[in-house]
């Protein structure tokens, strides 16, 4: 049959032949296939054109990243999406509103210290450690403190005036320092040394209260010489700078240089006691620090300090302490001088054993019961004098003043007040309160300062000196007491505080 010029095949149903009506033509599967292919091609072409029309051009705000790999000159072009504004998709508009926050000025900035990690604040309690400033704030006073290193930069005439006025020196206290230095200079021996025994020349017994006779405690001339030198250095007198005591200091340093004992572990200034070694090394270390920018003599002095520090480190007991004899278990008092001398040596970039100071800190804390900062002589229970020593040492060994139990221990020390007759206690307590810039400093300073000015000998051969009847004062006698009192009155400029109060918050 012909339909529209085409031949339409008959459809067979069963065994009978039927003819399809003209109004309902039927198409075979072979005739449908070309139409499906044509439709697929047309739709695919349309989708591709649509995609090409919607892609952005290189200059439409998108970014182009060019990357190369290896030495090839071919470039790989990467395309990134436009930066999206995340806030457009944030349905919580309250998240974009500013929030009012109160800032507690007591939060410590001590963690910004550049000290090595081994000297950072050690955990001293199993309780929750919240670093806050201790009590005693006077209202709006800013309690932020920054470690300043305890440097020696203010040991100059200008520094004495500036920091003396800043921290509480008076004209009378400065006159007392000068009188003490004059007395010490007058008691230097011909070989450049000093002696605790005032029966020897040049005093020949003219002063009372020489060192106690018959005591078992050794009193080495290296210790006496070191103490006297520390008093001169604390007031800014060195062997390089012209002044009334330049020659006095030079002769004292030369004595320590000449008497140093050669040991396999370094140089030894013991003379029977590690006290002598520690004090002598501390004096030489401070002399080096004060003249390190100058050329003459620095190399020789540096060698003395380096080899002396080596001996100190090798003499330390395994528990972190130092005793009267190298390598023996020690106590808080002997150890204190070794720690301070090593700290001074380290400031001169002298290498010391890596664990020397951290071990010393562990020993100091071992003398506290439950680490309550109430320090004992060799262990608990604590005592007032060894606590004053321990608190000063902890500051040098990295303890933050912002740790509440430690600050409370400083406050208790200040509340007990100076002993006035116990120079050893008052010297270390003054260092601790000065270095921490404790809020009770002014009250402590005025009481002790005025007492020392008032009790200094004013007449005769003893003029300029001190002596108080106490166990340590009797062992060292008048020379020991005078040197310690002079250093106490020099505290304002002798060391810059380890933790200085910040008047304006640093940005």
User: How does pLDDT run across 113-139, given as a tens digit for each residue?
Assistant: 333 333 333 333 332 232 222 223 322
**pLDDT tens by residue, 343-361:** 999 999 999 999 999 999 9
Q: What is the rounded average pLDDT for all residues in the chain?
A: 77
Mean pLDDT of 131-157: 50
Q: What is the pLDDT of residue 45?
A: 76
Q: How far apart are CA 488 and CA 231, in angstroms?
A: 9
Q: Which residues, including other chains, have CB under 8 Å from residue 127's CB and lie 6 or more apart?
A: none
Q: What is the mean pLDDT of residues 102-112?
A: 28
Q: What percent of the chain has pLDDT over 90?
A: 58
* Contact by Cβ (8 Å): 180, 488: no
Write down the pLDDT at residue 113: 31
Which pLDDT does position 412 carry in this prediction? 97
Question: Which tokens go with 406?
Answer: 């430690």
Read off the pLDDT band of 216 (50, 70, 90). low
Q: What is the pLDDT of residue 294?
A: 55
Q: Please state the rounded mean pLDDT for residues 211-239.
A: 89
Q: Which helix (H) or strand (E) holds 225?
A: helix 221-234
Sign of CA dihedral 316, 254, 229, 115: negative
Determine the Cα–Cα distance for residues 307 and 301; give it in Å rounded to an integer.
10
Residue appearing with tokens 């520390």: 230
Q: For residue 363, what are its two tokens?
A: 């020993």
* pLDDT score of 17: 41
Alpha helix positions (H), 242-372: 246-259, 274-290, 298-315, 332-347, 356-366
The pair of structure tokens assigned to 300 is 């020789």
Closest CA to 299 of 288, 290, 309: 288
What distance in Å separates the CA atoms of residue 507 and residue 505, rounded to the nearest whole number? Answer: 6
Domains in the chain with CATH codes? 121-501 (1.50.10.20)
| pLDDT at residue 242, as a whole number | 76
Burial class (CB in 10 A: 0-12, 13-18, 19+), 26: exposed
pLDDT per residue over 421-448, tens digit each? Answer: 999 999 999 999 999 999 999 999 999 9
| Res. 228: pLDDT tops 90 | yes
Rounded distance between C-alpha atoms, residue 15 and residue 319, angstroms: 116
- Whether 191 contacts 255, CB under 8 Å: yes
The pLDDT, as a whole number, for residue 13 is: 38
pLDDT band at 33 (very low <50, low <70, confident <90, very high): low
- CA distance linking residue 157 with residue 54, whole number of Å: 80
User: What are the structure tokens assigned to 202, written together?
Assistant: 């040049």
Q: Which residue has the tokens 């009481």?
A: 447
The band of 53, judged by pLDDT with boundaries at 50, 70 and 90, is low
- In terms of Cα–Cα distance, which of 168, 176, 199, 201 is closest to 187? 201
208: tokens are 């009372």
Rounded to an integer, the average pLDDT of 50-59 is 54
pLDDT at residue 152, as a whole number = 87
102-106, 229-233, 488-492: lowest mean pLDDT where?
A: 102-106
Mean pLDDT of 145-170: 82
Alpha carbon distance 486, 488 (integer Å): 5
What's this model's pTM, rounded to 2 decimal places? 0.71
Q: Give the DSSP letter string of 449-499.
A: HHHHHHHS--SGGGTT-----SHHHHHHHHHHHHHHHHHHHTHHHHS--SE
Closest CA to 182 of 423, 461, 453, 427: 461
Q: What angle do CA 165, 168, 171 make, to 5 degrees?
A: 70
Q: Is the pLDDT of residue 167 over 90?
A: yes
Q: How confident is the model at residue 299 (pLDDT cuts 50, 70, 90)?
A: confident
Residue of 421, 498, 433 lying closest to 466 (CA atoms): 421
Nearest to 231 by CA among 463, 446, 421, 482: 482
Tokens of residue 497, six digits = 């505080």
Own/partner contacts of 171-179, CB < 8 Å, gap of 24 or more, are 172/453, 173/449, 173/452, 173/453, 173/489, 174/489, 176/452, 176/453, 176/456, 176/486, 176/489, 177/235, 177/486, 177/489, 177/490, 179/456, 179/463, 179/464
What pLDDT score was predicted for residue 31? Answer: 52
- Reported as a single tens digit per residue, the pLDDT across 450-485 is 999 999 999 999 999 999 987 767 788 999 999 999
Find residue 131's DSSP bridge partners: 403
| Residue 149 pLDDT | 59
pLDDT beyond 50 at 285: yes
Give the residue with greater pLDDT, 81 vs 377.
377
Under the banding of pLDDT at 50, 70 and 90, the label for residue 241 is confident
Ranked by mean pLDDT, the top range of 48-52, 338-342, 499-503 is 338-342
Residue 420 has pLDDT above 50, yes or no: yes
For residue 128, the model assigns a pLDDT of: 25
Q: Residue 197 corresponds to which tokens in the numbers above?
A: 């025994």
Distance (Å, rounded) from C-alpha 302 to C-alpha 287? 10
Q: Give Cα separations from 376 to 180, 330, 389 (angstroms).
A: 32, 12, 10
């Amino acid at each position: 049959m012909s339909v529209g010029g085409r031949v339409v095949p008959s459809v067979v149903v069963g065994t009978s032949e039927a003819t399809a009506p003209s109004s309902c033509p039927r198409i075979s599967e072979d005739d449908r296939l070309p139409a499906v292919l044509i439709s697929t091609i047309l739709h695919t072409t349309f989708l591709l054109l649509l995609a090409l029309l919607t892609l952005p051009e290189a200059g439409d705000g998108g970014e182009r990243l060019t990357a190369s790999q290896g030495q090839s000159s071919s470039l790989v072009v990467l395309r990134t999406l436009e930066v999206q504004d995340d806030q457009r998709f944030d349905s919580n508009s309250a998240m974009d509103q500013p929030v009012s926050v109160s800032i507690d000025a007591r939060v410590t900035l001590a963690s910004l210290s550049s000290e090595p990690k081994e000297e950072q604040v050690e955990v001293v309690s199993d309780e929750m450690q919240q670093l806050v400033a201790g009590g005693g704030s006077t209202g709006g006073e800013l309690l932020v403190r920054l470690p300043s290193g305890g440097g020696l930069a203010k040991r100059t005439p200008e520094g004495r005036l500036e920091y003396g006025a800043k921290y509480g020196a008076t004209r009378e206290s400065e006159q007392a320092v000068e009188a003490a230095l004059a007395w010490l200079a007058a008691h230097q021996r011909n070989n450049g040394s000093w002696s605790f025994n005032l029966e020897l020349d040049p005093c020949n017994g003219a002063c009372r209260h020489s060192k106690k006779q018959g005591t078992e405690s050794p009193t080495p001339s290296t210790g006496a010489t070191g103490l006297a030198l520390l008093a001169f250095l604390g007031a800014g007198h060195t062997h390089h700078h012209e002044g009334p005591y330049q020659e006095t200091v030079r002769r004292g340093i030369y004595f320590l240089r000449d008497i140093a004992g050669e040991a396999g572990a370094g140089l030894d200034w013991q003379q029977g006691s590690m006290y002598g070694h520690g004090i002598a090394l501390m004096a030489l270390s401070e002399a080096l620090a004060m003249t390190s920018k100058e050329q003459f003599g620095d190399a020789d002095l540096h060698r003395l300090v380096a080899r002396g520090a080596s001996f100190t480190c090798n003499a330390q007991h395994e528990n972190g302490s130092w005793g009267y004899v190298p390598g023996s278990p020690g106590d808080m008092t002997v150890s204190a001088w070794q720690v301070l001398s090593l700290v001074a040596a380290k400031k001169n970039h002298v290498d010391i054993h890596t664990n020397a100071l951290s071990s010393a800190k562990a020993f100091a804390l071992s003398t506290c019961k439950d680490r309550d900062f109430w320090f004992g002589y060799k262990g608990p229970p604590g005592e007032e004098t060894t606590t004053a020593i321990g608190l000063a040492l902890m500051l040098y060994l990295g303890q933050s003043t912002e740790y509440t139990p430690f600050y409370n221990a400083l406050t208790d020390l200040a509340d007990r007040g100076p002993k006035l007759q116990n120079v050893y206690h008052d010297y270390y307590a003054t260092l601790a309160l000065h270095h921490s810039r404790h809020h009770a400093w002014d009250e402590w300073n005025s009481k002790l300062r005025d007492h020392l000015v008032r009790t200094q000998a004013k007449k005769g051969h003893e003029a300029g000196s001190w002596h108080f009847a106490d166990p340590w004062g009797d062992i060292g006698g008048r020379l020991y007491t005078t040197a310690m009192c002079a250093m106490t009155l020099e505290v304002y400029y002798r060391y810059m505080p380890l933790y200085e109060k910040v008047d304006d918050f640093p940005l």
